[in-house]
């Protein structure tokens, strides 16, 4: 049985590292990068620089989860005081 987790290499802050993510998280991360007009490396570098503990793969999963639980449009609405919306934004 093939593992749903795939190890990928990425360059962040000038050094090559690898992260193990499911395809769905990798695709979601690419979608986030595109929507922010950023590169995967820039998004991952931002996540890496702000994590306090744990491994990078876990930090990326939590970032993606936070992003889609609180999408950009909802954050903007929440900042203007609409009921039920959180103004909290993900890491990057």
> What is the residue extent of each domain of the chain?
5-79
Q: What is the pTM of this model?
A: 0.74
Tokens found for residue 65: 């989860």
Residues 6+ apart with CB under 8 A from 44: 10, 12, 19, 29, 56, 60
Predicted local distance difference test score (pLDDT) of residue 9: 95
Predicted local distance difference test score (pLDDT) of residue 10: 94
Question: At residue 92, does pLDDT exceed 60?
Answer: no
């Amino acid at each position: 049985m093939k593992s749903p987790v795939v190890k990928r290499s990425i360059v962040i802050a000038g050094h090559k590292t690898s992260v193990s993510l499911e395809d769905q998280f990798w695709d979601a991360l690419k979608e986030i990068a595109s929507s922010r007009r950023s590169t995967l490396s820039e998004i991952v570098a931002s996540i890496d620089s702000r994590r306090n503990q744990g491994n990078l793969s876990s930090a990326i999963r939590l970032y993606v989860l936070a992003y889609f639980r609180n999408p950009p449009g909802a954050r903007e609405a929440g900042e203007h005081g609409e009921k039920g919306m959180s103004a909290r934004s993900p890491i990057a």
